[in-house]
Amino acid sequence: MRKIIAVLSVIFLGVAVAGCGSGTAMRSSWSHRNLVSNSQPTSWMIVAETVRGHATRRIEMSAEQMAGLHVRSSSDSGEVWLVVSDDDPNFRMSVDLSGEFDEYVDLGDAFEPGRIRLRLEFVDVEGLELYLRW
């Protein structure tokens, strides 16, 4: 029985990591109602009736992708934040996505191309539609 549980755990972990594509993994700690999340190699979408907590992806970004990060977000209430960081624990960039937001966020001025951490933070958000594309 233990062997079956261990094998199923490994299979589930492999599917969860492989589902994010391109060697990226998504981690989250949130409570929500009617949430749909879709992670692709060059995009991330989250739609929810209500959500609070956070979700994180670590991805590889080229200079072109860093200059072309497009974020479209709408929410009825609450706060939505995009927090971007790299390997330097002392520096991060925060963008308030609350309400209506539809802009390009240029990361090229703040970060070097390479491994980037995208963290979405949700504070009592209702009616969320969030799309990121790079």
Structure pTM?
0.77
Of residues 61, 65, 58, 62, the one with CA closest to residue 23: 58
Q: What is the tens place of the pLDDT at every residue in 39-79?
A: 999 999 999 999 999 999 999 999 999 999 999 999 999 99
Mean pLDDT rounded to a whole number for the chain: 85
The CA-atom distances, in angstroms, between 70 and each of 7, 24, 97, 117 are: 39, 19, 12, 16
pLDDT band at residue 28 using 50, 70 and 90 as cut-offs:
confident
d(CA 74, CA 99): 5
DSSP-based three-state secondary structure for 43: strand
Domains of the chain and any CATH numbers: 2-133 (2.60.120)
